[in-house]
Amino acid sequence: MNCMIGMISSSFIERSKPGKYMKTVNWKVEGMTCSNCALTIHKYLEKEGMQDIKVSLASGDVSFGINGGDTTGQQIVKGIESLGYTVHDEQGGTTPSKKRFLPSHKQRFLFCLLFTAPLMLHMLDKWVHIHWLMNHWVQLGLCLPVFLVGMDYFGRSAIKSIRNGIPNMNVLVALGATAAFVYSFVGTIFNLGESFLFYETAASVITLVFLGNYLEDASIQSTQRALNKLAKSQKVMANMIAYHEGQENIFPVENTALRSGDLILIKNGEQVPADCKILTGEVTVNEAILTGESMPLHKKTKDTLIGGSLLIDGTARAQVMAEAKDSVLANIINLVKRAQSERPPVQQMADKISAIFVPIVLGIAAVTFIVNFIVLQNFTASLMRSIAVLVIACPCAMGLATPAAIAVGLGRAARNGILFRNAKSLELFRNIRQVVFDKTGTLTTGNFVVAGFELKAENMTKEEFKGIAASLEKYSNHPIAKSIAAEWKTKEDIRWQQIEEAKGQGMKATTKEGDIYQAGSYRVAMAHTRDDSHNVYILKNDQLLGWIDVKDEIRPEAIQIVQYLRHRNIRTILLSGDRQAKCVQLANFLGIDEVIAEKTPEEKLTVVEDLTLQGPTAMVGDGINDAPALAKATIGISLSEASQIAMQTADVVLMNQGIKNLPLSLGLGRHTFLTIKQNLFWAFFYNIIAIPVAAFGLLTPTFGALVMGLSDVVLAVNSVRLFVKKVT
């Protein structure tokens, strides 16, 4: 897990120029209503020279890299707010904008509803006859507050979007409501009669779109449920320890106030407030919030506790290792947010259409008015139909189709201990046809014990042989080497003049006297013996001293995972540097389709490259020697206890110990992509059907505004199904 801290943290500090580091800024931006809004912000940041820009329409998260040149955070905030959006800085470096009247969609909807409801009553004139509501001045008085609030929001946003060259959906709403209001106002001023009064249309369009925006916000917020749950667990109280005149004092502080090096006391039943190392005490901890694994873990002195996990038994005094903003949990949340902000290839077509959607709808509305006026010879009916076209069109449906599904897919994955480095990986999972497994530490636990050894050299004792092996292997990171070094640890280590590790072969060391020792696979000993059935061979000056046998434990979930993949018609391949006989034995036991053994890291890279050319391939590995192959695979999957370089090159990290969540990650990938396709189908189908229906006068602008508002809710609800949908 310590590797995880380094991996995630380093991914957010990127070198931009020699000698300079790029600062990553994370903000929350309110007011984005469609994909054009996100595109507007993206283009503005590009124009200002920002890098690595991520804008999430679903969550409102905006992140970018700034080099610290002439442009400051304050200038960027003012620039974004000049586009019509509100910035909330999560870094604390800028000031949020001035709070406006009726700041939320819910408040705007309720305010407008007070005036719109009486206006709508006169439409029930056949059943409820209210004389004073028929007065055009009363209707104007009821509509005016609604219109002003609507134009304060939709009008401002529309004007700013047009000024920036990317008109958004608020242009359609503002034009529709303004047309109805101005037409009615002219009728009122010149006393042209009831046939010119459509105040209820203007008011209802504004009110119902506010309702739709509120429902959309609530629905999209539900797609962030898993991530919000993680974020909520970040803020807890901590028991800080301080010493004064030799006296220990304990006082409560918020975990956000903790700094690296602070001492804290964590009691039974409390949440671990920050990443820390246990100084005294033994505890049982539940890390389910981070790994999805509810099985309690035993922790003792010098072990690491991860912020956000729950202490279910025991008490510990610990030292804080990282501030809240740099913790594993915080960086996991940032990683998921960044992945949510990415646009996978499937979204590109929808984005292109969304960028020209508003001008197209404006053109259709103009054509609708002209054609209907020519055919019907009725200005009022033609105007109402063109207004209906404006308000029923929904560009945000196309913009939300992908982000909503990705938000849920990534959120559910994070909740279950699966981290996707980017959204593209979710889409790629749908085509995976073969999965390549490394052996040691992936299909097996990597916990080795020495099963036996044989001494071949004369004039050497067993203790001397063990000392040589331990002295060589203690410098290796390979799990087999570590197990030998730990089991045969001695105080009389050989002091080497030089020692190096040749990947895929083993250790090679030289003493001051010039003697050369080697510990490695059969490759280093093949000139001295034909027996290739042993794990480690020890040589001195090119003479075989003996060999060592170790045994490894197969992961309990390995058989189930392999059988699941075979049931899904996904080909399984064991790719290892270990000997052919041992790999075949393991493959036969697990039911793996093909074995490719005795490969160096370079050869592994070539094998995976060839397999990827044959078809989309996932590679699961955990060692340093797996890193090149992980990078070359269609999708690289690493384990949380893997080496740091393996985790940095992987597209997906399984936080749980083991591979048991591999089926869930594959299933989430496939079903998230399926949900995206369903959402895009609905978005296009809705607009293709709704706009012609409105153009032919088959629905009123009021009903059109209601349907438009609900269209986004349909997408959000369909996306939220991913939380509970069976995907494996």
Contact (Cβ atoms closer than 8 angstroms) between residue 169 and residue 394: yes
Q: What pLDDT is recorded for position 325?
A: 77
Question: How does DSSP classify residue 641?
Answer: T
Average pLDDT over residues 269-295: 82
pLDDT digits 0-9 by tens, 678-693:
988 888 888 889 999 9
Q: How confident is the model at residue 346 (pLDDT cuts 50, 70, 90)?
A: low
Residue 670 CA, distance from chain mean position: 16
Question: For 68-104, where are the alpha helices, taking DSSP H only?
Answer: 73-82
Strand segments (E) across 208-324: 237-244, 247-254, 263-266, 276-280, 283-286, 297-299, 304-305, 310-313, 316-320
Q: What pLDDT is recorded for position 11?
A: 37
Nearest to 617 by CA among 450, 451, 436, 468: 436
Contact (Cβ atoms closer than 8 angstroms) between residue 627 and residue 390: no
Domain with CATH 3.40.50.1000 in the chain: 417-445+554-660
What CA–CA distance (Å, rounded) separates 28 from 60?
6
Domain with CATH 3.30.70.100 in the chain: 2-89
Domain with CATH 3.40.1110.10 in the chain: 449-551
**Residue 723: Cβ within 10 Å count:** 15
> What is 463-508 written as a DSSP string?
HHHHHHHHHHHTT--SHHHHHHHHHT--SS----SEEEEETTTEEE
**Residue 246: Cβ within 10 Å count:** 5
Q: What pLDDT is recorded for position 425?
A: 81
- Region 449-551: CATH code: 3.40.1110.10
pTM of the model: 0.68
User: Is pLDDT of 9 > 60?
Assistant: no
What CA–CA distance (Å, rounded) separates 169 from 357?
9
User: Is pLDDT of 483 > 90?
Assistant: no
Please say if 438 is a catalytic residue. yes
Catalytic residue among 61, 262, 275, 438: 438
Q: What angle do CA 105, 109, 114 make, to 5 degrees?
A: 155
The CATH architecture to which 417-445+554-660 belongs is 3-Layer(aba) Sandwich (3.40)
What CA–CA distance (Å, rounded) separates 489 from 140?
90
> Any long-range contacts for 608-616 (C-beta under 8 Å, 24+ apart)?
608/436, 608/575, 608/632, 608/633, 611/434, 611/436, 611/573, 614/434, 615/431, 615/433, 615/434, 616/428, 616/431, 616/432, 616/433, 616/434
Q: How confident is the model at residue 279 (pLDDT cuts 50, 70, 90)?
A: very high
Q: How confident is the model at residue 559 (pLDDT cuts 50, 70, 90)?
A: very high
pLDDT digits 0-9 by tens, 510-528:
999 999 999 998 888 988 9
Name residue, tokens 């005490």.
281
User: Is pLDDT of 14 > 50?
Assistant: no
pLDDT digits 0-9 by tens, 651-680:
888 876 678 889 998 998 889 889 988 988
**Pairing relationship of beta strands 434-437 and 14-17 according to DSSP bridges:** unpaired
- Region 236-326: CATH code: 2.70.150.10
- Region 2-89: CATH code: 3.30.70.100
Q: Which residues of 337-371 are buried (b: 16+ CB within 10 A; e: fewer)?
A: bbbbbbbbebbeebbebbbebbeebbebbeebbee
The values of phi and psi at residue 498, to 5°, are -155, 140
- Percent helix, percent strand, percent coil in the chain, to nearest 5: 50, 20, 30
pLDDT digits 0-9 by tens, 418-427:
888 777 887 7
